[in-house]
Amino acid sequence: MLFTHQHIASSFLAGCVFCATGQMGFARQLTSEEIFEQVARFASELKADGERLSNVVMMGMGEPLANYRNVIAAIRRMNEELGIGARKITVSTVGVVPNIRKLMDEDIQVRLALSLHCATEEERTALLPANKRYGGLHELMTTIKEYIRVKRQRVTFEWALIEGENDSPEVARTLGRLLKTYDIRSDMSHVNLIPLNPTGGYGGGPSGRKNVARFVDVLEREFGISATPRMRRGIDIDAGCGQLTAANEKKKEKEAAAAIAELSKFAEPAGLPMVGVYEDDEGDDYNDSSDETEPDFKESSNEPDLRHGSVVQFSIDDLAVDLDDEDGADDFIDPTYDDDFEIAEAERLIALIKGVSLQPVQTDVAPADSLPQEVKSTSIIDEDNIRDAKKRRKKLLKHLKAINKLKDMQSNGKVLNEEQLEKVAKEKEWMLELESVEHNLM
């Protein structure tokens, strides 16, 4: 099982509510090199033991077809450099219809597995929000039927069995009728039944053996569809889809809470003045006596007695700038500073946020001496990711609009210079990137 994405709390990719990965949300796409490296490492370890890596399944943390270009590039390298046959590579998808159609046109014969889990429109949309996003069950099943016709390959339907929700004989019959309605031949389909891996963010539990057996019996006896119950492996080590990362995140949260509790032991004792937000009224009179007695604040019947540490109500001005506003985002991309000292100080503050400790900038030291080495982060908090994606989308739309103008000029007989031709050549690359960015913003 390969990972194709990294995740961090509260965003979305496929958004499956029962899955630990879907509960984490999206952080970034892995590169083709990072995906291929996972396979290459396992292949090397097996080779050292006199064995050979023969099968690869692309699923788990992430939706492979949402990272289409990098996944396909990695598959080609597995095939060419590691000698893994394309038919031994399975790509699992929640149902990204446009990219299933792209895969249909590829010259590689990888196997396709569809995470179906529900056989009615309403139930599947509730469990897998991506269902509605890609046109619903009709669009998906029509595409699967076409995929089987073009590729002449059997498709696997993955079904996570959830106790009392989608594991009854009646649900099995609904699934059988669904495949029959779209003329998906029984010899060109197979159902993988996997009792649900429990997660902290979803209340459902795995189906019992009797329900699993009844489900298999209905599919095979009444519809002639082969079905295989799969063992839930690795639950004891959190090896289910996204569970290891979720467990690590919980461990980090506990460690952080323990660290805060330890630091609280050294907090200043209670009773000392608390620094807070207080109202600074120039009209207040107080005794400016030479002794160190507390100032005598002016009392008013309309206002409370405000002293150091008092918190008052406040509101944000309607004219304040919304930094999350997409239209105004570009105004804050390139902040300007009065001098090099301010630039270096800004870099120091950014470094503190990233966890890099630097000394305050000195005026007699060159700013470059205090700058940290650039560290590429592979994990982005959700709000930053969304903001950056919106900025990138805006720039890509601008680039593509310029390309359309250049192509119009070219069709009217205008000879483009080398720089303009290079920009036109990037159209497909930018269109694919825009598609990926917009998918992740859905």
290 pLDDT above the threshold of 80:
no
12 pLDDT above the threshold of 80:
no
| Residue 400 near residue 338, CB atoms below 8 Å | no
Q: What is the mean pLDDT of residues 222-246?
A: 64
Q: Kindly indicate the confidence band of residue 437, based on its pLDDT and cuts at 50, 70 and 90.
A: confident
Superfamily of structural domain 5-249: Aldolase class I (3.20.20.70)
Residue 208: half-sphere exposure toward Cβ, Cα within 13 Å: 3
What is the percent of the chain with per-residue pLDDT over 70, rounded to a whole number? 58
Structure tokens at 87: 């038919």
Residue from 244, 325, 338, 289 nearest 21 by CA: 244
436 pLDDT above the threshold of 90:
no
> Residue 164: which region, alpha, beta or left (left: phi > 0; alpha: psi -120 to 50)?
left
pLDDT tens-digit series, residues 375-412: 333 334 467 777 888 888 889 899 999 999 899 888 88
- Cα 396 from Cα 384, distance rounded (Å): 18
- Cα 130 from Cα 124, distance rounded (Å): 9
Please state whether beta strands 89-93 and 56-58 pair in parallel, antiparallel, or not at all (unpaired): parallel
Residue from 144, 137, 234 nearest 184 by CA: 144
Q: What is the mean pLDDT of residues 187-208?
A: 77
Question: Lowest-pLDDT range, 16-20, 94-98, 249-253?
Answer: 16-20
Q: What is the mean pLDDT of residues 224-252?
A: 61
| DSSP β-bridge partners for residue 2 | 58
Task: Give the per-residue pLDDT at 307.
Answer: 54
**Residues in Cβ contact with 163 at an 8 Å cutoff, skipping those fewer than 6 apart:** 196, 204, 205, 206, 207, 208, 211
The most confident of 30-34, 214-218, 283-287, by mean pLDDT: 214-218
| Residue 172 near residue 219, CB atoms below 8 Å | yes
| Residue 206 near residue 215, CB atoms below 8 Å | no
